[in-house]
Amino acid sequence: MDKNFQEDQFTGIIKFTPPLYKQRYQFIKDLVGKYKPKKVADLGCADCMLLWMLKFCSCIEVLAGVDICASVMKEKMHRLSPLPGDYLQPAERSLTVTLHHGSVAHKDPCMLGFDLVTCIELIEHLEQSELKKFPEVVFGFMAPSIVVISTPNSEFNPLLPGVTLFRHPDHKFEWNRAQFQSWALETARRYDYSVEFSGVGHPPAGTENVGFCTQIGVFVR
């Protein structure tokens, strides 16, 4: 499933520059630049595009991706392979990249020890039972220093032509800002994190009251 293609179908009339998915990835890159994590895990890594971008961040020594859909990861994992030039002139740092087929609702020991965990446009794909287990897995079991969660802001949907219920047929829900913030604040309180809210995808002039197209929570332990 190519999340970016689906999204661009809806956001074609509202022109995001750069495209919305690139704005989300840049948000993560900026955070990496600020906090300098050595070990980063991307949950719901899908086409591995974010992992590919993070490969070039010099502070990162370990990258890991997890996704429920093994076929998409397998199809796109080639972009994480070393470039020919990497063999000719090896980098001064070592970089380990691993991909895992699994669910974010299950505690897997291979997902321990990360500084930063990203969950970009992931939670809205989870069934209710998975969403219930998700905080304990990520914040309780994995317990990284920083967690970044992005999800659609449903208040923006009326501005997207063709969106009747949800932005993607696989979405199980889409939250407005109050719903996301309520869930995030309760999760942060329960697992002893602070959380700050932000987003990407500015609304057109005159519709500022709907907020960002993508809402983001940054949790710091």
Burial of 178 (0-12, 13-18, 19+ CB in 10 A): exposed
Query: How would you classify the pairing of strands 146-152 and 194-200?
Result: unpaired
Cα(197)–Cα(150) distance, rounded to whole angstroms? 10
Q: Per-residue confidence at 79, pLDDT binned at 50, 70, 90?
A: low
Res 13: pLDDT: 67
Q: Per-residue confidence at 162, pLDDT binned at 50, 70, 90?
A: confident
In CATH terms, is domain 20-220 a member of 3.40.50.1860? no
**Residue 12 pLDDT > 60, yes or no?**
no
Report the mean per-residue pLDDT for the chain: 88
Q: What residue spans define the domains of the chain?
A: 20-220
How many Cβ atoms are within 10 Å of 47's Cβ, its own excluded?
A: 22
Q: Residue 159 CA to chain centroid, in angstroms?
A: 23
